[in-house]
Structures are given as structure tokens and as C-alpha cells.
């Protein structure tokens, strides 16, 4: 009688061990795939940030060159080329702004006009910046209100010389036009933003040098949806 292999009940089906091995391999493959996708997203995010940073830096370098011998000494805004798109550039001289000490002495109503949600706490934190000889970088964190974060740097500066705010609707104080010195020694706030929300907000001092017209004193690079960063005293809170 011919010999034949006995028929097993699991012929044609995966054994439990094989199923476990297959599931383990699938889990490993899924994990590797997820990590690869996460790494890809991180790389894309880093690339977008770096591209935005370079584009905004270029726009602000151009702004410094443009301002070095410009006659205007009041806040100005314009559009500039930034990589593949346009950047909105804001330039503000710091001398006509409130000093930190003057801001720390403002009453509740005036601090509220600038955007403070909690005037008493803002006053205390402003005084702390004065005591620490802060360069202005801590202004944004003085109050948590969106309008304060958006507007405070337009009205207060470490190099500010004013002691009071102008009345609503009144023009801001201006500094004199440069007398051929290329704004040497003047401190300005330069801010550039692009449509996807990246912002380069820096304080610079003009040097009078052709190759390096402005030296960065303080810089913040961040992403926001809170507007252009330019404010007036009659804006809605």
C-alpha cells in the first residue's frame, strides 16, 4: 500500500505561532513607518522655519540699509521681498517711546490703553525690568493680554526717552533727521513678518558702517497669528 502523509487539521492555515510572528512584524513595521513619518514632518518643519528665518533676516538687513540714511524718523511700514513672497516690515525709532521707568509709573487707565489686562501686575513686572536693567526683551511677558503682546513694544522701549503717552489721535514724538551720520547711535525696533505667521522682531543700534549698518541688541523669532505688531492708542482691545 502506497505511503501517504497523514492529513492534519491545520493544513492550509497559519499556525498560532506564525500568526504571532506576523503580527509582531506588522507592529514593528508600523512603528518604523510612524517614526519615519514623524522624522519627515520634523524635517519639513525645520526647513520651513529655517527658510522663513533666512527670508526675514534678509528683509531686515535690507530695511537697515534703507533706513540708515533715510530722512524719516517716525514709525514707517512697507512691504519687502522675502524669498518667494512678501514680508511686512515695521520700523520704529525707540527714542520717542516711553522708558521702562516711565511705563512702570503709569496709572491703571494708561496701562490699559497700551493693552495691559492686569495693570497692577503689569506695573510690578515693569518695575522688575527696570531693576534688572532689561534690554526690552522681557516686555512681551509683562502681561498676558493679546493686545499687550502685540502693542507694548510700539510704545515702550529700554532706550525710550518719553515720560508720558501722547493723547489719543495725537502724532507720536519724533526724533531729528540724521545729519549725515547714518543714524549712528540711534536705536530702532525692526519687525518683519510673512503670511504664514513667522516674525523676526529685533532691536538694533545703527553703527554708521556701510558693511554693517546696524547691530542687533535684542531679537525674538517666533510664530503668531496676532497681527502686524503695530498699534495706535485708539485701537480696540
Task: Characterise 174 by phi-psi region: left (phi > 0), alpha (psi -120 to 50), beta (else).
Answer: beta
**Residue corresponding to grid cell 501722547:** 166
Closest CA to 152 of 77, 57, 220, 53: 220
For residues 91 and 193, give the distance between their C-alpha atoms in angstroms, rounded to a whole number: 12
Q: To the nearest 10°, the Cα dihedral for 162, 163, 166, 167?
A: 180
For residues 95 and 157, give the distance between their C-alpha atoms in angstroms, rounded to a whole number: 8
The pLDDT value recorded for residue 60 is 93
The pLDDT value recorded for residue 128 is 95
Closest CA to 183 of 215, 152, 140, 155: 215
SS3 at position 23: helix
Domain segments of the chain as ranges:
45-223
pLDDT in tens, the chain (237 residues): 555 555 555 555 557 777 777 777 778 777 777 676 666 677 676 778 888 899 999 999 999 988 887 776 678 888 888 776 889 999 999 999 999 999 999 999 999 988 899 999 999 999 999 999 888 888 988 999 988 988 888 899 999 999 988 765 566 665 554 444 568 899 999 999 998 889 999 999 999 888 889 999 999 998 887 665 567 654 333
Q: In the structure grid, which three cell numbers stand for residue 58, read together?
A: 534678509
For residues 51 and 75, give the distance between their C-alpha atoms in angstroms, rounded to a whole number: 27
The pLDDT value recorded for residue 234 is 43
Amino acid at each position: 500500500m502506497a505511503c501517504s502523509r497523514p492529513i492534519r487539521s491545520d493544513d492550509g492555515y497559519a499556525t498560532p505561532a506564525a500568526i504571532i510572528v506576523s503580527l509582531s512584524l506588522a507592529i514593528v513595521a508600523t512603528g518604523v513607518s510612524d517614526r519615519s513619518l514623524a522624522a519627515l514632518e520634523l524635517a519639513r518643519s525645520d526647513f520651513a522655519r529655517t527658510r522663513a528665518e533666512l527670508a526675514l533676516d534678509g528683509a531686515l538687513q535690507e530695511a537697515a540699509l534703507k533706513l540708515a540714511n533715510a530722512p524719516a524718523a517716525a514709525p514707517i511700514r512697507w512691504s519687502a521681498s522675502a524669498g518667494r513672497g512678501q514680508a511686512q516690515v515695521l520700523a520704529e525709532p525707540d527714542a520717542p517711546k516711553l522708558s521702562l521707568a516711565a511705563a512702570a509709573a503709569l496709572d491703571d487707565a494708561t496701562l490699559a490703553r497700551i493693552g495691559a489686562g492686569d495693570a497692577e501686575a503689569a506695573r510690578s513686572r515693569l518695575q522688575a525690568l527696570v531693576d534688572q536693567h532689561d534690554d526690552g526683551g522681557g516686555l512681551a511677558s509683562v502681561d498676558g493680554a493679546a493686545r499687550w503682546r502685540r502693542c507694548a513694544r510700539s510704545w515702550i522701549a529700554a532706550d525710550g526717552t518719553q515720560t508720558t503717552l501722547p493723547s489719543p489721535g495725537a502724532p507720536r514724538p519724533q526724533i531729528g533727521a540724521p545729519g549725515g551720520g547714518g543714524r549712528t547711535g540711534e536705536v530702532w525696533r525692526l519687525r518683519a513678518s510673512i503670511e504664514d505667521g513667522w516674525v523676526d522682531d529685533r532691536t538694533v543700534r545703527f553703527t554708521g558702517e556701510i558693511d554693517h549698518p546696524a547691530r542687533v541688541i535684542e531679537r525674538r523669532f517666533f510664530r503668531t497669528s496676532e497681527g502686524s505688531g503695530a498699534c495706535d492708542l485708539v485701537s480696540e482691545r
